[in-house]
Amino acid sequence: MKVVIIEDEPYAALRLKKLIQDCDNEIEVIAELETVEESVKWFRSNKEPDLIFLDIHLEDDLSFAIFKKVNISCPIIFTTAFDEYAIKAFKLKSIDYLLKPIVQEELIAAIKKYRDLTGQTRSINDLKSLYRLMTDKTPEYRERFSVSFGAKIKTIPVDQIAYFVSEEGLTFAYLINKGSYPVDLSLDRLVNELDPKKFFRINRKILLGIHGIADIHVYPKSRLKLDLNPKFHEEVFVSLDKVTSFKKWLDR
């Protein structure tokens, strides 16, 4: 079986690929695509795979925009971190959906479901309907995260997160009551999924929650140094080009 992964988070794509190969080493991942534009180009010049793993949110658009430009008839398994999107996808007769972080048992079940339905195709009209649902809806910001640690999954409400930090290519959520957990999303992606009234990107490394501020120190030349709660292991400064917008954010 040949599959294509469409996912704009490299860590999430790598993890999904490993899970697929662990599930069945005869499954071949023939392409890993990150954007709508890249996906459209690939499908225009390549034969359809047997199955697609499709993330709903991509860097340049909702992934359903792909189907406005190319006609794809092969089955799709949605991967998403948003329960409401997954439920709608399921109701519109997708093969299946996997909520992030993806776990092996659910992946195995989804692939089994695909194999049980081999020979059946899904209507492209379903995809277009889902795309309309996604684009017509008013913005809804993430309320919780599911994170995996060891053999367990933990659900963390957004209100318990003090800040997010990007370190060595990974993103970690630091909790108000201490402790940190890896999440499968980049800071760029999180900026779009979190309420901008509650979180602000203070520099390239930190996405700060309003409850993560302990103290703010004013330095010469308008520099701002922050004490975070919980305490971070490095000194934290607001980027100079963000100082003005950060002060406005504080006044909201």
φ, ψ for residue 122, nearest 5 deg: -105, 150
Q: Is the pTM of this model over 0.75?
A: no
What are phi and psi for residue 82, nearest 5 degrees?
Answer: -110, 115
User: How does pLDDT run across 143-183, given as a tens digit for each residue?
Assistant: 999 887 777 888 899 999 999 999 888 999 999 987 899 99
What domains are there in the chain, each with its CATH number? 2-136 (3.40.50.2300), 158-250 (2.40.50.1020)
Q: What is the pLDDT of residue 120?
A: 53
Question: Can you tell me the mean pLDDT for 57-69?
Answer: 85
- Which tens digit of pLDDT belongs to each residue from 94-135? 667 787 778 888 898 888 888 877 655 444 445 665 666 555
Peptide bond into 196 cis (omega under 30): no
Do the Cβ atoms of 158 and 194 come closer than 8 Å? Answer: yes
**Residue 252 — very low, low, confident or very high, per pLDDT cuts 50/70/90?**
confident
